[in-house]
Amino acid sequence: MVEKILLTALALFAISIVIALVRIIIGPSMPDRAVALDMIGVNLISMIAVISIVLKTKAFLEAILILGILAFISTIAISKYVERGIIVELKSDD
């Protein structure tokens, strides 16, 4: 029973990633794409967590942490590029 619930959750996460991918492709504006990329990152983290429950292993926990860090940094970089046009400033103006 628990196994079936976990597999269903995996399938739903996969469908959610596909929907976010559609939003990235047809997304009218860049902030839509940034939010959809962040959503794909969160869904991937959740999928890895569910997979590690299914396989009864702790080997993927570092992968979850690394994926979280990379999704955080890449979302910040994309939003800063969308908002200001540059990513790393040479000198702050305040």
Q: How far is the CB of 18 from another protein (least distance, A)?
A: 28
DSSP state of 18: H
Cβ(22)–Cβ(16) below 8 Å: no
Question: Which x/- pattern, by CB under 8 A, does the window 41-70 give for another protein?
Answer: ------------------x--xx-xx--xx
Give the Cα separation of 2 and 20 in Å (integer): 27
Residue closer to another protein by CB (options 4, 56) is 56
Please choose, from the candidates 71, 91, 88, 92, the residue with its C-alpha nearest in 3D space to the C-alpha of residue 80. Answer: 88
The residues binding another protein (CB under 8 A) are 59, 62-63, 65-66, 69-70, 72-73, 76-77, 80, 83-84, 86-94
